[in-house]
Amino acid sequence: MVSHRAGIGTPRTQVGIVGAGPAGLFLAEMLRRHGIGSVILEARSREYVEHRVRAGVLEQGTVDAMAELGVDERLRSEGLLHEGFELRFDGEGHRIDMQALCGRAITVYGQQEVVKDLTDAHLAGGGTILFEAGDVALHDFEGDAPSITFTHDGAAHTLACDFIAGCDGFHGVSRPSVPDGVLTVYERVYPFAWLGILAHAEPSSEELIYANHERGFALQSMRSPSVTRLYLQVTPDEQLDDWSDTRIWEELQRRMETRDGSFRLNEGEIFDRGITPMRSFVVEPMQHGRLFLAGDAAHIVPPTGAKGLNVAVSDVQNLSEALVAFYETGERTALDGYSARCLRRIWRVEHFSWFMTSMLHRPHDQDPFEMQLQRSQLRYVTSSHAARESLAENYAGLPRE
């Protein structure tokens, strides 16, 4: 996968990939299966990357992508298949049956587990991942001979390549490497955040529960039959130190309560917690010269719609297909159209995530007019078959074009 044809001591590969998150790993493994070489450069250690807690809801398309790569053994045995989810408001639950409405489902399987599976498979297949690569910088991608400089194991290196894939997230080096004035930025910052916890407690429901409550939004999810993932809407400037375990559980119980008092969350030891700001962000185009952006490097969605990981996978499916076409035929049409093709799905996902966020979160100023609009929307999507069907197909994931 790596040669030294570019000169003495200068390794060369076909695709240099910055970032060993899901986007970079999926791309590298898709390319490897077609005989296309790549090198992944990752700033963090392998242990850090494989244990950072992120999303856990996989659309059917992402599950299918893992199956096609043959990395779904643990997913099939440990993943939790969900054919529906619940919207809870005014103290009552309303189930959205995705399987019945659109013929698809989701699977709950932690992003860190996806990363472990892909890392193991890529390294076992002879792929190259350089963890703890520092001082990464991208060069000459506006021409025909891009390269990446970096340090690794105390030495400076230059990686020559045909193309660069920027899969290094929102705070990575890839997007800022594009010259000023090339990219158009679309952004919305929401006036609230999520306080998320992981707890050693059996999930209180077999499916996700999205709760709209007068005190703010809450979500019950899970990571396994013995680990619950829970979220609370808080203000962006909220401090974790102000939230004791007791306060967290009391607030969750209030927001998840039902009118008849029959529901109660199972409580347990909280072993992870954090506050996540909410934003929507898109850059256009997602490519410049021989640099292609994918995943969080190009777009961010609020987590309410559970789309971040899934749209990143869609990005690299498009990119891998375009690169395969180029190396097999020399045709650049798919590469030139990469950004436009990705953005059609991205903006659909952005709209759905905005819709879910706006419908479920209490306005920060408790605007009574907006709260009545929310209640009207919730009643509509839970009573109209057409509205339920649209909600189900967007949540489960629209098929790729």
Of residues 5 and 130, the one with the higher pLDDT is 130
pLDDT at position 53 over 80: no
Kindly name the residue from 109, 210, 231, 338 that is annotated as catalytic: 210
- Known catalytic membership, residue 307: yes
Of residues 4 and 188, the one with the higher pLDDT is 188
pLDDT at position 10 over 90: no
Residue 127 corresponds to which tokens in the numbers above? 């792929």
Q: What is the CATH number of domain 15-82+105-186+280-355?
A: 3.50.50.60
Report pLDDT for 5.
38
pLDDT at position 4 over 50: no
Report pLDDT for 106.
96
- Closest listed residue to residue 94, CA positions, set 387, 371, 393: 387
Report pLDDT for 380.
98
pLDDT at position 319 over 60: yes
pLDDT at position 173 over 80: yes
pTM for the full predicted model = 0.93
Report pLDDT for 55.
73
The DSSP 8-state label assigned to residue 353 in this structure reads: H
Distance CA 177, CA 166 (A): 10
pLDDT at position 194 over 90: yes
Instruction: Give the pLDDT band (50/70/90) at residue 364.
Output: confident
Distance CA 336, CA 242 (A): 50
pLDDT at position 207 over 50: yes
In percent, the amount of the chain with pLDDT more than 70 equals 98
Mean pLDDT of the chain: 94
Identical fold for domains 15-82+105-186+280-355 and 190-278+363-396, yes or no, is no
Distance CA 115, CA 167 (A): 13
Torsion angles phi and psi, residue 198, rounded to 5: -115, 135
Kindly name the residue from 22, 190, 303, 327 that is annotated as catalytic: 303
Q: How far is CA 182 from the centre of its chain?
A: 25
- Known catalytic membership, residue 210: yes
Average pLDDT of span 371-393: 97
- Known catalytic membership, residue 338: no
Tell how strand 209-212 and strand 84-89 pair up: parallel
Report pLDDT for 297.
98
Letter for the amino acid at 74?
A: R
Average pLDDT of span 339-346: 97
The fold adopted by the segment(s) 190-278+363-396 is D-Amino Acid Oxidase; Chain A, domain 2 (3.30.9)
pLDDT at position 181 over 60: yes
Of residues 399 and 377, the one with the higher pLDDT is 377
Torsion angles phi and psi, residue 118, rounded to 5: -70, -40
Do residues 259 and 316 make contact, with C-beta atoms less than 8 angstroms apart?
Answer: no
Instruction: Give the pLDDT band (50/70/90) at residue 7.
Output: very low
Report pLDDT for 18.
98
Report pLDDT for 71.
97
Report pLDDT for 401.
73
Distance CA 286, CA 5 (A): 30
Distance CA 395, CA 389 (A): 10
The DSSP 8-state label assigned to residue 333 in this structure reads: H
Longest dimension (CA), the chain: 74
- Closest listed residue to residue 110, CA positions, set 80, 152, 150: 80
Helix-, strand-, coil-residue percentages of the chain, each rounded to 5: 40, 30, 35
Kindly name the residue from 82, 213, 288, 299 that is annotated as catalytic: 82
The DSSP 8-state label assigned to residue 141 in this structure reads: T
pLDDT at position 143 over 80: yes
Average pLDDT of span 24-35: 97
> 64-110: per-residue pLDDT in tens?
999 999 999 999 999 999 999 999 999 999 999 999 999 999 999 98
pLDDT at position 357 over 60: yes
Distance CA 345, CA 393 (A): 13
Domain map (residue ranges) of the chain: 15-82+105-186+280-355, 190-278+363-396
Average pLDDT of span 301-324: 96
> 234-249: per-residue pLDDT in tens?
999 999 999 999 999 9
Kindly name the residue from 116, 299, 307, 361 that is annotated as catalytic: 307
- Known catalytic membership, residue 303: yes
